Structure formats: C-alpha cells, structure tokens
Homo-oligomer: A and B are copies of this chain.
Amino acid sequence: MATIQDVAKAAGVSAMTVSNVINGHPNVRPATRERVLEAVDRLGYRVNVAARNLRRGRTGTICLAVPEINRPYYGRLAASIIAAAARHGLRVSIEQTGARRENELAALSLSRNRLYDGLILSTVGMGPADVGALDVDHPVVILGERIFGGPVDHVAMPNEAASEAATRHLVERGCRRIAIVCGRLGGEVDVSSLRHAGYLRALAAAGLPADPELVVTAGSFTMQEAARRVRERMAEGLAFDGVFCVTDTVAMGVLRALADAGVRVPEQVRVIGFDNVDESAYLVPSLSTVDPDHDLMAERAVTLLAARIERSGPGPEREEFTGPFRLVVRESTGG
C-alpha cells in the first residue's frame, strides 16, 4: 500500500508537496501538480486517514447515539443527519443506546476517546439529574426532551405547541372525550409530559374537562405496547371519541387496537399522531399528524456541532433551538 513518501519519490518531489496537492493547497505549480497526480494515480495512492487523524487531531467522524435505528422516527432522523453531516464533510457512526441511561452516558465518554469529533445524543434514558454528565470537553449536541438548560447545545421539538395544535384539531373536528396515549407521567421533563401538557392546554382552551381516566400510559413508544395498553383500557370500559398519540408509531399501535375492537376511524374515533413518519400517509386510514420538520432539526443539530468542532474552544453561548411544525390533516381525523 503506497504511502505519501512513495508518491513523492515517484514524482521526484517531497512528501510535503504531495500533501499540498492532495489537500488542494495553493502555491503548487501546475506542472508539479500534474506530475504528482500522475504518480498518485499510477501507484493507486490513497491517504491513510488514521495518520491524518492523528496529525490533525480530528477524525472527521461524528457519532449519532439513538435508542434504536430501526424505528421510524430515529431512522428518519438518522437519514437526515447523515445527509446533513455529509454536506459538512463529516461521516456518521451510529451508536444504539436502547434508550438506556447507562448507554447514553457511555456514548458521552466514547467521544472522549477522540474517536469522534463530536456527538449528537438523543437523550431518552438520561434525565435532568444527569446534566452534570454533559459537562464534557468535546462538542455535544442534545437532541431530545429530557434535558433543558444543560451546558451544551440543544435541539428540541416543538412539543407543547404541536401537541396543543394536534389536540385542538381533534376538538375542532367535534371530539369531546379526547384520550392521550403516552408514556408514564413521572413529573420529570420528557416527551410524554411535554406533549401531555400541550394536550391539557388545548382541552383547557376548549373548556373541556381533563379527565385523568383518558390518559393511557404505555411502557414504551412501540406499536406493541401502545396496542396492548389501549386494548386493556378499552376492555375496562374506557370510551373516547378522539385520541392524541405521542408518536406516529404509537398511533399505529392504537389504530390496530381500534380495528381489533371493531371501532371505525374516523367515524367513531378520530386519531392523530406526532412525527409525520413516511408510513403515516399510506396507512389505512392515513394518519393525521404533526410534522416537526426533521430535516431542519437535523441540519440545525449538525450545523451547531460542526461549528463547535470548528472553533474547538469553549465557544459562545449555548444555543437552545426549538423547531417549527405544521399540522398534517389526513383521513384518521376525517380530513
């Protein structure tokens, strides 16, 4: 495997000149450049990235840590982030945390190995109590709802506002007993509690009572768990004419449970989700939802991270970014 020295020798120049040519530095005479490129070609030379990384103190790779790549929302996010990173000349390595706190903390220290130039961490297991763990000496961007006001940049979803809009939409379609399917509400700040808050706000604004009975809690945001819990609650007699699901994936489970119970959507129950995953438009009935503009959030996260990597110092104020959203009305709410 040819090294830069081999090329230099073959082209009758110094290694430095080869390096300059390869990295597109100015101040190389065209004729010299030609000769070098010819030699590069002839020897099939490729730079050794490990050596370059060592020398530059950069790896050109960032890490994306998400619960599991095989979930519509995180897949969507990853695709956007990989694409955005490529635009910044960065590669992306993916770490799966399984939504476990310890794995999220491990991801934080992995980057300390200088394995990655920076980390985009989707916090699901970590909570406000772990803010201290974020105080690391390498660039980190948090993408999640569990931690606010930490010592790092934060890209968040428009949780409350979008949830309020989704719930309001159900109200406007005539729903009066609106359920919510979410995770356990433990008082901590997380996706469920934020979206639940938006739901409550919409109910209050519409003058509807907030019946705690209508809160269906699932252990995880999976189709399986959502379907199971809704079936259970319906068997216990829970009745509702609208349901706001914390994610589209959860909504898919709910749609399935309703179908099993012979409930027609949207005639008897209207359903709305959150995320606007690709599948949502193709479900039968197609799923109304709110679209948080994943591409924009991904772009923002990568841009923030890239900027910190570039500066490689403490840098300016930490940024807190909350994306926009739009309501997507489809069949499941009678759209």
Residue numbers of A with Cβ under 8 A of B are 1, 46-51, 53-54, 57, 59, 61, 68-72, 75-76, 78-80, 82-83, 86, 91-96, 109, 112-115, 137, 223-224, 227, 252-253, 255-256, 259, 278-279, 281-284, 286
Contact = CB atoms under 8 A, between A and B. Distances in A.
B69 A75 contact: yes
22 contacts: A46-B109, A46-B113, A49-B59, A50-B50, A50-B57, A50-B59, A50-B114, A54-B54, A70-B75, A70-B78, A70-B80, A70-B278, A75-B75, A82-B94, A91-B93, A91-B115, A223-B281, A252-B279, A255-B284, A256-B282, A256-B286, A259-B284
Nearest to A294: B70
**Taking the full assembly, how many copies of this chain does it contain?**
2
A278 B277 CA distance: 14
Which secondary structure dominates chain A's binding surface?
Answer: helix
Contacts of A279: 72, 223, 252, 279
Contact of A46 (B53, B69, B112): B112
A11 to B, nearest CB: 20
Contacts of A78: 69-70, 94
A48 B253 CA distance: 45
Contacts of A252: 279, 282-283
A38 to B, nearest CB: 18
Given A50-B54, A91-B95, A252-B282, 7 more contacts: A46-B113, A69-B69, A83-B96, A86-B96, A94-B94, A227-B282, A253-B282
